[in-house]
Amino acid sequence: MNKSNDPLHAVKLEQILIELEKKIGWAKMGELLNIRCFTNKPRLKSSLKFLRTTPWARSRVEILYLKTFCSKHKETGKLIRAILAQNTAVAEKTSTKPAPFIWQTSKNK
């Protein structure tokens, strides 16, 4: 069998949320992560929908899961650093300065 060193290998987002909710609860998740879907009427279905479409929030949840359940796994630190590096790279690509506004001039002939 080929085993992956990735502690998140074959772990679904739904499973991550269920285990975190059992271990620390919605309120504590909202407090630690500062994500509104955990503080304002949290439900599994709505949280999954939000996290699947919001990469920065999903990475926060994955990091919390790794720190909570996989802290003794030897690859956890590397994986957390990789997630953070990936988020930084995405943020740098998407947070470019907007083009300066240029007034259109009318050409009168």
Per residue in 76-108, pLDDT tens? 888 888 888 887 776 666 655 555 555 555 665
With 80 as the cut, is the pLDDT of residue 6 above it? no
Tokens representing 67?
């720190």
pTM, whole model, 2 decimals? 0.74
Tens-digit pLDDT profile for residues 32-71:
999 999 999 999 999 999 999 999 999 999 999 999 998 8
Q: Say if CB 45 and CB 31 are below 8 A apart.
A: no
* Predicted confidence (pLDDT) at residue 20 exceeds the cutoff of 80: yes
5 to each of 24, 94, 109, how far by Cα in Å? 26, 30, 70
User: What phi and psi, each to the nearest 5 degrees, are found at residue 66?
Assistant: -60, -45
Q: Which fold is adopted by the domain 13-86?
A: 1.10.720
**What is the CB-side half-sphere exposure of residue 40 using CA atoms within 13 A?**
6
Q: How far apart are the C-alpha atoms of 58 and 56, rounded to whole Å?
A: 6
